[in-house]
Homo-oligomer: A and B are copies of this chain.
């Protein structure tokens, strides 16, 4: 096993939690997720826009792998520069305080349409922060595509281990 694999074992996030954003824009990170975060990350997540309309938190270790891929793009190509810009510009490192909270940037709060209540969802290697109604809408949107979900399951689990 490579050292890199070992580091990542801790960073496994699951479960769904309801929390509240306080007046200062801070939000609690579930204790279980704080414990799951590898200490090498120094209590720090990279927050950015999700592909879905929510906020995504990556352990810095995971983000560094994303950043490394962005650096591998050809800087002479305008489209590649734009691609990097659109990912990097919304990303910000957030370290949680001794109460276990992070302060979400206003831009990301707007993007996710977050008010006072939020849902925090574990996504194995990262975490999603949703406005509760949006999450529900998203769920409904896929409720009539259950067959497709089965297909994805088939695809994933038929892969060689």
Contact = CB atoms under 8 A, between A and B. Distances in A.
Contacts of A103: none
A32 B92 contact: yes
A14 interface: yes
Given A69-B156, A80-B152, A157-B69, A15 B89 contact: yes
A41 interface: no
Contacts of A88: 13-15, 121-124
A116 interface: no
A23 interface: no
Contacts of A81: 51-52, 123
Q: Interface majority SS on A: helix, strand, loop or mixed?
A: helix
B124 A84 contact: yes
Interface string A67-88: 1111111011011111111101
Contact of A92 (B15, B69, B70, B92): B15
A16 interface: yes
Interface of A: 4-5, 8-9, 12-16, 32, 46, 51-52, 64-65, 67-73, 75-76, 78-86, 88-93, 105, 107, 121-125, 128, 138-139, 142, 145, 148-149, 152-153, 156-157, 159, 161
Given A5-B68, A82-B142, A88-B122, 12 more contacts: A8-B71, A13-B88, A69-B157, A73-B156, A79-B148, A79-B152, A82-B139, A83-B152, A83-B153, A85-B123, A85-B128, A88-B121
